[in-house]
Amino acid sequence: MNNPIIAIVMAAVIIALVLLSIRRGILKEKYAILWLLVALFSSAAVIFPQIVSSVANTLGFRLPSNFLFSIALLIALFLTFLLSTDISKKQRQIENLATELAIIKNKLNNK
């Protein structure tokens, strides 16, 4: 972005939405931390583009945009992993609850 003010405003909006979502119980804290970090780092990247360029050059990226895209991809992969582990955990909980419910129903029907 050519105008860092727009990026800072967008980051502030993301932070406000995340905090509001936590307050309403819509978003879990462990995901909120990730979104807050994304907002803070993206606004820092816009405010200090020379740091992004130097880190990108140090890591061997020819363009800073390639570096930022790689970081975004890693964040997306990490979030996908977190969500997959949560889904697996919830699936096990559902299976355990269904088994317990079946046992309770069986005991009630046998009385």
**Between the CA atoms of 13, 14, 16 and 20, what dihedral angle is there, to the nearest 10 degrees?**
130
How high does pLDDT run on average in the chain?
90
Q: pLDDT at position 71, please?
A: 92
pTM, full prediction: 0.72
Domain count, the chain: 1
pLDDT bucket at 44, cuts 50 / 70 / 90: confident
Rounded to an integer, the average pLDDT of 71-84 is 91
Q: pLDDT at position 2, please?
A: 63
Please calculate the CA angle 7-42-57 and round it to the nearest 5 degrees.
120
Range(s) of the domain holding residue 16: 4-110
In the predicted structure, residue 1 carries a pLDDT above the cut 60:
no
